Structure 1
Amino acid sequence: MRGQYPLSLVSRLWPLVRALAVLLVLWQLAIWLFQPPHYILPSPSQVLSALVRQPGFFLSHSLITVSEIVLGFVLGAGLGALAAIAMAAIPRLGQYVWPVLLLFQALPVFVIAPLLVVWFGFGMASKVIMAMLIIFFPVTSSFADGLRRTDPELLDATALTQATHWQTLFHVRLPLAMPSLLSGLRVAAPLAPLGAVVGEWVGSAAGLGFVMVQANARMQTDVVFAAMTILAILSVALFHLINGLGPRMVPWATNQ
């Protein structure tokens, strides 16, 4: 049993590794065929060289972005789950809250990010809140949908036991909706880095987004691609962490 999880992880990562290898080959072929200037499109080796040349620099900025991503993800997922439960527990509340959530979701992130920087400053708070807002809606939407779609026949059978509204919610509807929550977390995981980096683009003094903005202004495209590579790795790692830990924490959701 202990050897099955690493094998399962390898089997899940293999399509990604294969796609990445194809992308790198096509990228290098484009460099050989078109020979663009390095400030337009650096080669994979130049991007790797940028990473190797200053590992401490990238590590320090990556740790800041990782902190923003983790905090934003935890807060966004937690508040999103609580909002979904509240709307399921009090249906009238959902009638008023849901249109407001849709309105905020319709606003482009680049509209919200500058306001957050003005309100909360150039520090970590504005980036964490930006990531939290991006995570909040998919988690709320998926979990609320799962809570709403509980089998009516099962609810009727539960009513025969004289269970209260709250008992039905927490002992029947909530466990059955956990697969939907996991789906929302899987959708939200790749979005958390986007929220943090958008906040860093708008205004910051550190982080991968800050590195990309500064390097782009100096036409250091290899550094921009290096930061993008780290960001992509973080996104994939967070997705697979949720994908791996979710079914272990909620085993009944594995086959749903």
Structure 2
Amino acid sequence: MRSWWSSVWPPVVAVLFFLLVWQAAVSIFDIEKFILPAPTAIGSEAVTGAAGLFQHTLATLQLTLIGFIIGTTIGLVISLALHMVPFLKTALYPLLILSQNVPTIALAPLLMIWFGFGMLPKVIVITLVCFFPVAVAALDGLARTDRTMMNYMQMAGATSWQIFTKLELPHALPSIFSGIRIAATYSVMGAVIGEWIGSDRGIGYYMMLQKSGYRTDRVFVAILVIVLLSLLMVLLITLLEKRLIRWNRKS
């Protein structure tokens, strides 16, 4: 309990100190609310506007979960295919890296033109930002398998499938979950980007609407919701990891 508290209180104190400095700066320099609202004003708006924001939050969460599951699945399938077939890894891995050099915000308008303004282009955006960290992390974990144990299993007559399921995959799980945690945070960002381009609901749509009305306090509330959704996704992945990898004490 003491160890848990010692790791929690430093960031909590840092955040509280930052908020106090922010509040004091707004009051001392008399900054206009539409430029930089005080934390108290943002908190008040979060409470009063919670009912109207709830539906937007649910829409973004639904979109995030769908895109995250699809993107993670594709990332795992790609990593396994490249790991099992070395020729594919040699041929496609550089293209996998190059695919991330195109900004997602630049692809989103094209996806809207090709697939319309429904859910599909938004799911594709989330998939594009999620599959890469999962694929790279899984490939790295599979490549770091203990070669001594692999040689021992091969000498013992283990098949390739047995080596994969009993050695390579369990050994790679911590790396895989590291990539999934990164993808979890990216999925929320991808959902918001998709909603920026074209949507009639969601946190991204809500942000664009409030920006047009110069409601900076509501924009900050939307940012707070995005942060909380990202933390929730990471927490769920961490809890799942601890249940699946009980032997990994560091996790």
Q: TM-score range by the shorter chain?
A: over 0.9
The verdict on how the C-alpha distance between 1:116 and 1:248 changes in structure 2, with shifts beyond 3 A counting, is: same
For the pair 1:156 / 2:151, whether they are aligned, the reply is yes
Distance across 2 between alignment mates of 1:131 and 1:254: 32
- 1:78 corresponds in structure 2 to 73
C-alpha distance in structure 2 between counterparts of 1:74 and 1:16, whole Å: 30
In angstroms, what is the RMSD of aligned CA positions?
Answer: 1.9
Contact preservation (8 Å) 1:113, 1:130:
yes
Tell me what 2:135 maps to: 140
Runs of at least 5 residues in structure 1 that lack an aligned partner in the other structure: none
Q: In structure 2, what is the equivalent of residue 226 of structure 1?
A: 221
Q: Is residue 49 of structure 1 aligned with residue 34 of structure 2?
A: no
Name the CA distance, whole Å, in 1 between partners of 2:240 and 2:217: 34
Amino acid at match of 2:49: Q
d(CA) in 2 for partners of 1:166 and 1:201?
A: 45
User: In 2 relative to 1, CA 16–124 (structure 1 residues): closer, same or farther, beyond 3 Å?
Assistant: farther
Structure 1 length as normaliser, TM-score?
0.91
Matched, 1:37 2:32: yes
| Residues 197, 24 of structure 1: alpha-carbon distance in 2 compared, 3 angstrom cutoff | same
Map residues 1-256 of structure 1 onto 2, 5 A cutoff.
13-255=8-250
1:190 aligned counterpart, secondary structure: helix
Return the offset for 1:12: 5.9
Percent identity between the two aligned chains: 37
Q: Distance in 2 between matches of 1:12 and 1:92?
A: 45
Checking the alignment, whether the CA contact within 8 Å between 1:80 and 1:140 is kept in structure 2 is yes
1:186-228: CA deviation from partner (whole Å, max 9, x where unpaired): 2222211111111111111111011111111111111111111
Q: Match of 2:209, SS?
A: helix
Quote how far apart the aligned CAs of 1:14 are: 4.2
CA shift for structure 1 position 233: 0.8
